[in-house]
Amino acid sequence: MGALDDRIRIHTGDITRLSVDAIVNAANSSLLGGGGVDGAIHRAAGPELAAECRTLNGCETGDAKLTRGYRLPARYVIHAVGPVWQGGGLGEAKLLASCYRRSLEIASDQGCLTIAFPAISTGIYGYPKDEATGIAVHTVTDFLRQDPQLETVTFCCFDERLAELYRRAVAVPGEG
C-alpha cells in the first residue's frame, strides 16, 4: 500500500477506454440505460450489459450494483446512482458520498485493485462540479485510509476543466 497521494489518479479522457478492474457508471435508478457516460458504457460494453442490468431490479439512489464488463477493457462495471441536484437541501451531499462509498465497498469485496470513477451526478443530474469533486475526493480518501487492498482510484474526467477541479480538491481533501 503506497502513500495516499500515489493511490489517487486524475485522468482526462473516456472512461470506457480504461483497463482497470472496475469502472463506475453514473447510472439512473432503473439501471436500464440512459445518456451521458451511461450511454457510452452501454455502447462500448455491448447488449449483454443491458441484459444483465435487467436482472438487477434497479438500484436506490446512493447505492450501487455490480455487473460484468463484457466488451469493455474493464472486468466489472459498478452502476452507482447519484442524486439529482435539487438545490442541496434534500440530502444530496450524503447521497453522493454514499454512492462513492458503496462503489468502493463493492469493488473491494470483489477483490478489485483498480477502479475508475466518472464525476457522478455532474452531468444531466446537475450537481455543481466543484462541490461534487470535493465530496468525491473526500469520500475516496477516507475509504483508502482504512482499506489496504485498493491500489489506485482514478477520477476520469471528460475534460481538462473538470480535471483541474479534482487537482484542487486533492490538494485540500479536508474541504470535501
Q: Write out the residues near ligand ADP by the rule CB under 6 A.
A: 14-16, 26, 36-38, 40, 82, 118-125, 156, 158, 162
How far out from the chain centre does Cα 52 lie?
19
Nearer to ligand ADP by Cβ, of 65 and 146: the residue is 65
CA distance 92 to 132: 10
Q: Which is nearer to ligand ADP, 4 or 50 (CB)?
A: 50
Q: How far is the CB of 1 from ligand ADP (least distance, A)?
A: 27
**Beta carbons of 33 and 134 less than 8 angstroms apart:** no
H or E stretch covering 76: strand 76-81
Residue 38 bears catalytic tag: yes
Minimum CB–partner distance for residue 24 and ligand ADP (Å):
10
Q: Least distance (Å) from ligand ADP to the CB of residue 3?
A: 26
Nearest to ligand ADP of 1, 98 (CB atom): 98
Which residues of 57-125 form beta strands (DSSP E)? 64-68, 76-81, 114-117
Contact at 8 Å (CB) between 104 and 64? no
From the candidates 38, 63, 109, 142, give the one annotated as an active-site residue.
Answer: 38
Q: Could you list the active site residues?
A: 38
